[in-house]
A and B are shown apart, each in its own frame.
Chain A
């Protein structure tokens, strides 16, 4: 499974309700820290932050799930 599909599945296993935007492939912790998480909305626009609001979604936890896939 290609990387972009794999990380979505890994995130959803750990936190099904997480909303996010990913640019490019996530191969390292540095890449993971660039994921933009939806933290709130302004009308119909997403308000994004690179600070993950979900404690379950650390790089190590996501990487562990990705390696199982």
Chain B
């Protein structure tokens, strides 16, 4: 078998200059440089998603409060490492309703183990009155996404909460999961 020693900057075209099989796991070493289309990496890291959990509720909750209350959407997760992050993705249905022609704004919050973790000051609302004597609603869905760093391997519980930004006057009310519409909370552990 003829052997050719390659000089600097010479290459072998595996598609046209070779025959037989090349065992990539035993016969190839080294790193394919980024300049040649490689990653420069000498090893490959496995996937980064550790676990995915989801909670869904369609149970209606009526809220008339200027301090945070649960809307009935909660999910616990136990990270596998302290370096993991938790990607929180929620889709929260709610109808802000007011009895007179004024403004209503609802604030949403991701609660972590009983404390406010991240809040959306203007989550849903409207500034045109909808008379709730007619039973009307302004059906809205808020997508909430946040990357949490719990720094623990103990169970962590995330909950979605809501409250009114202004007063409860004029029958300002939030109807979460109005007419049994679904809200959902998804937790994804992202490994370091």
Residues of chain A with a CB closer than 8 A to B70's CB? 21
Binding site for A on B (CB under 8 A): 59-70, 72, 97, 99, 109, 111, 114-116, 132-135, 161, 163, 168-169, 171, 173, 175
Name A's interface SS. Answer: mixed
Establish whether residues A21 and B68, one from each chain, have CB atoms under 8 Å apart when the complex forms. no
Establish whether residues B97 and A19, one from each chain, have CB atoms under 8 Å apart when the complex forms. no
Taking CB atoms and an 8 Å cut-off, the chain A residues in 12-69 that contact chain B are 12, 16-25, 36, 38, 41, 43-46, 48, 69
Residues of chain B with a CB closer than 8 A to A22's CB? 61-63
Closest Cβ neighbor of A1 among chain B residues = B135
Most buried by B among A17, A18, A21, A25: A21
Name B's interface SS. Answer: strand
A42 to chain B, nearest CB (A): 8
Contacts A38-B65, A46-B67, A46-B69 given; does A9 touch B116 at CB 8 Å: no
Question: Which listed residue, B132, B135, B163, touches A46 by the CB 8 Å rule?
Answer: B163
Establish whether residues A18 and B64, one from each chain, have CB atoms under 8 Å apart when the complex forms. yes
Instruction: Provide 19 A-B residue pairs closer than 8 Å at the C-beta atoms, listed in order of the A residue.
Output: A1-B134, A5-B135, A9-B99, A12-B171, A16-B169, A18-B64, A19-B168, A20-B65, A22-B63, A23-B59, A23-B72, A24-B59, A36-B69, A44-B109, A44-B163, A45-B115, A45-B116, A46-B65, A48-B69
CA A63 – CA B132 in complex, angstroms?
18
Binding site for B on A (CB under 8 A): 1-2, 4-5, 7-9, 11-12, 16-25, 36, 38, 41, 43-46, 48, 69
CA A9 – CA B169 in complex, angstroms?
11
In addition to A20-B62, A45-B68, 7 A-B residue pairs with Cβ atoms within 8 Å of each other are: A1-B135, A8-B171, A9-B99, A21-B64, A22-B62, A25-B60, A46-B67
CA A22 – CA B69 in complex, angstroms?
11
A29 to chain B, nearest CB (A): 18
Question: Which listed residue, A1, A8, A43, touches B64 by the CB 8 Å rule?
Answer: A8
Residues of chain B with a CB closer than 8 A to A4's CB? 60, 62, 175
